[in-house]
Structure 1
Amino acid sequence: MKVLDLHCGQGHVFEGWFSSEDEFQRQLREALVQCPMCSDSHIAKRLSAPRLNLGARQPAVEPVAPVADASADRNPAEVSGVDLQAAWLSLARKVMAHTEDVGPQFAQEARRIHRGEVEERAIRGQASHQEALQLLDEGIAVLPLLLPEAAKETLQ
């Protein structure tokens, strides 16, 4: 198993797991490797340190249990780009899991919910900039949110 550090044309850094270098190159040629943040398929490898498994030795020191959310206590200026990317991807997956995709009918469905014509529920979909502004003018709260395609699937 090869674990590669990758980055997209937008500068997002992420990890990819492949059965071999040949498999990575094949998937790269076929544009199957995409950034989980922005879905960019212009991917390049970064330098990465190999992992060497030298045997199953007991650690010299007992490991310390991780804090539930170590970044919560840090100054926002100290949070790394990788932490932000991970948090964004986690949020995107939660949005995907807890909303119904109504596709290009987003504006119409948001109006129907707002008027009480259908049961209120969390929805997501596509709307033009003009449609989003019209919804806001009508008092319908909307939030433009770029959700990467990778958030819709389990990463492997």
Structure 2
Amino acid sequence: MIVFDLRCGAAHVFEAWFGSSVDYETQRARRLIACPLCNDTDIDKAVMAPAVGAKGNRAVTADPRAELLAAQRRLEAQSDYVGSDFATTARALHDGDAPPRSIYGEATIAEARALADDGIPVLPLPFKPLIRSDA
């Protein structure tokens, strides 16, 4: 069902329910809709505010910390941790001296700037890598 605010030729505004927009258009074209106040069948849609769900109808949002932790776990599961060798490994990957793979690790600000200046894509992560013993 769909509800519309309608207006007759005499400017009376009233509410009407229809099975669909097509049903409204069909009934309007056949002049089957009449104003309940004056019986006028010259009907058009009136301006109406959209129906907005109440605050209680909003979906529960996830905890941002939990979302960040989930993103960190996905990144770590799909990438190789290279620790403090990040800048060297990133440069080798970019230059084709190492097989392609996704990496993460640590770099100094100077190392990250040098990589970016050389056109090697890097970005800081919003979290510290979990403590690793394999790098």
Larger Rg computed on CA atoms: 2
Taking structure 1 as the reference length, the TM-score comes to: 0.43
Q: Which has the higher contact order (CA 8 A, sep 6+)?
A: 1
Taking structure 2 as the reference length, the TM-score comes to: 0.49
